[in-house]
Structure 1
Amino acid sequence: MKRKLLLTLFVLLTLALVGCGKTEAPQTAGQPKTQQGPLRVGLVPNQAPDKIKAQYEPFREYLQKTLNMPVELFVASDYAGVVEAMANDKLDVAYFGGLTYVQAKQRAKIHPIVTEVDTETGTTKYYSLIIAPANGSVDAVKDIKGKTFAFGDISSTSGSLYPRFMLDKAGIKVPDDLKNAVYTGGHDATAQAVQNATVDAGGIEGRIMQKLIVKGTVDGAKIKVLEKHLVEGYPWVVRDSLDKGLEEKIVQAFLTIKDPTLLDLMRAKAFAQVTDANYAEAEQEAKRLGLVNPKK
């Protein structure tokens, strides 16, 4: 009788343990326990937001497959919206411009990990341009004094910060020395405004302008370049609290992209690692020109 009782208890205990094992699904390989839900990736709208989301859909698919976890893209209506989302812990990763990164790090604990190697310069830097209508009266940056100037988004690095830097170098203070400062919201809109001579000059990212010319959206013969300045590439940024193992996998996902079609979509020859020190000039000039809080 005792033997039967012990045998019955053993069988019941075994079944209970097997049942407990079935209630906990095995963890998916490559998905750290600390990352609950999808990886949330934010993108600055340096062109129309719907175009940006469509442009980066192949990257989302690549990242999702490489990391073996869901990835969601977020594009705000303006640059400030992406900063706000990161500051409120609604994003894990974000693609910022240099200025947007400087603004965001005053409000959120974040750091840059990689940027693109530019196809034109062969480095991590690209050109910010000041352009004017080809047949207009403005032939040099100094001629812009007293004229109408188009910036992109106020938080754009190559469409706002560095055009101000180049204007300041020519002795032109914004907005005091301009007839009017127009904010178009994006590089594509600035190119159109300059091409159509609705403004006397404008600030734009050089590689975006070249893409617009190649696509036929903008007529390059109607635009002249007055000055250009090298700018550190757009940083891909992560929040400091992101799991370090996952962060390293994200870095490696960028560094190992080989697909030429995907690289072209992302305006990159390749990717390289960067740190906060790469954006020291952007931070210094942004504080000097009043685009970020100088006391932070």
Structure 2
Amino acid sequence: MKRWLSFVLFALMAVALVGCGKSETPAAAEQPKQQAALRVGLVPNQAPDKIKAQYELFRVYLQQKLNMPVELFVASDYSGVVEAMANDKLDVAYFGGLTYVQAKQRAKIHPIVTEVDTETQTTKYYSLLIAPASSEINAAKDIKGKKFAFGDISSTSGSLYPRFMLDKAGIKVPDDLKNVVYSGGHDATAQAVQNGTVDAGGIEGRILQKLIAKGTVDGSKIKILEKHLVEGYPWVVRDSLDKGLEDKIVQAFLDINDPVLLDLMRAKSFAKVTDANYAEAEQEAKRLGLLNPKK
């Protein structure tokens, strides 16, 4: 009997010890999981397939620097990237200034870096008003009553700042224009102006220079009417991203020194930015009705 009681007591103690061991499992499960992959979104300021191919070298670079998988996402339009960020489907996004101030109305995000422009040697670049070289339009004020092409409605240098320059010239959009066209991208706007499909258009200066250099656009067929400096495209992260990972991402940008990669990313180098750098874009977007745009 004593032996039997000893056996039962030993068995009960073993069960109790197993139970204690299991009680630690939930606590272990509560430990934060390491992020599987970094999801990076890019605005389609040109044809989406071109953008994804252009940034493949950057994806590989970032993946190596962070020692984790990096996935690229390019939507069919600017609002698609905003939607993806707002729905927590992206960790990092490359926005235009306008797209960023639109997105921050819906998502908890903040900018971290932007490119230093090779032309201006600052974090700012030019938005242009352009017209066919043979046109009688010679200044922004001459666009009144004409057919005008914007890029995507949420483009900073293809929509917001062209409106800003037109407004400064006393032209209200769309009331003072014969017709308004949204081409969807800077490359399409350049082609429309070159071919005379429209009388004038708004475009990013850097992209126009690239298109001319590639021979896609004939520079002799386009003239610049006016230009305005714009704060560079911000790389943005969601507020909830691990701070250590965010710091590594920022450092990865600051460390880029490969001339081929910098050229592909249209940058001399990269510099840190904050929300304050986009105060003008937000102010003008509110004034011109572009925080929640409708064509």
2:231 and 2:135 map into 1 onto residues whose CA distance is 30
Q: Deviations over 1:113-136 (max 9, x none)?
A: 000000000000000000000001
1:87 aligned partner = 86
Any residues of structure 2 matched to 1:212-251 within 5 Å, and which?
Answer: 212-251=211-250
TM, length-normalised to structure 1: 0.88
1:276 and 1:249 map into 2 onto residues whose CA distance is 20
1:35 and 1:73 map into 2 onto residues whose CA distance is 19
2:203 aligned partner = 204
1:286 and 1:145 map into 2 onto residues whose CA distance is 21
Q: Deviations over 1:186-240 (max 9, x none)?
A: 0000000000011000000000000000000000000000000000000000000
2:112 aligned partner = 113
1:60 aligned partner = 59
2:59 and 2:237 map into 1 onto residues whose CA distance is 16
Letter in 1 for 2:141: K
Question: What are the ranges of 5 or more consecutive residues in structure 2 without an aligned counterpart?
Answer: 1-30
Aligned pair count reads 263
SS in 1 for 2:113: strand
1:158 aligned partner = 157
2:35 aligned partner = 36
SS in 1 for 2:111: strand
2:177 aligned partner = 178
2:260 aligned partner = 261
Deviation of 1:164 after TM superposition, in Å, equals: 0.0
The reply to whether residue 76 of structure 1 matches residue 83 of structure 2 is no
Q: Deviations over 1:61-85 (max 9, x none)?
A: 0000000000000000000000000
2:80 and 2:138 map into 1 onto residues whose CA distance is 36
1:75 and 1:145 map into 2 onto residues whose CA distance is 35
Letter in 2 for 1:157: T
Deviation of 1:36 after TM superposition, in Å, equals: 2.4
Letter in 2 for 1:272: A
SS in 1 for 2:187: helix
2:126 and 2:102 map into 1 onto residues whose CA distance is 21
- 1:246–1:34 CA distance, 2 compared to 1 (3 A): farther
Whether the 8 Å contact between 1:34 and 1:243 is mirrored in structure 2 is no
2:51 and 2:87 map into 1 onto residues whose CA distance is 22
Aligned CA RMSD, in angstroms, stands at: 1.2
Deviation of 1:293 after TM superposition, in Å, equals: 5.2
Question: What are the ranges of 5 or more consecutive residues in structure 1 without an aligned counterpart?
Answer: 1-31
Structure whose alpha-carbon radius of gyration is higher? 2
SS in 2 for 1:279: helix
Whether the 8 Å contact between 1:35 and 1:243 is mirrored in structure 2 is no
Deviation of 1:34 after TM superposition, in Å, equals: 4.6
Q: Which runs of 4+ in 1 moved over 3 A?
A: 32-35
1:286 and 1:47 map into 2 onto residues whose CA distance is 22
1:198 and 1:143 map into 2 onto residues whose CA distance is 17
2:175 and 2:124 map into 1 onto residues whose CA distance is 30
2:238 and 2:62 map into 1 onto residues whose CA distance is 17
Letter in 1 for 2:92: V
Letter in 1 for 2:156: T
TM, length-normalised to structure 2: 0.88
1:117 and 1:59 map into 2 onto residues whose CA distance is 16
1:124 and 1:224 map into 2 onto residues whose CA distance is 25
Percent of aligned pairs sharing the same letter: 87
2:92 and 2:162 map into 1 onto residues whose CA distance is 27
Deviation of 1:37 after TM superposition, in Å, equals: 1.4
2:288 aligned partner = 289
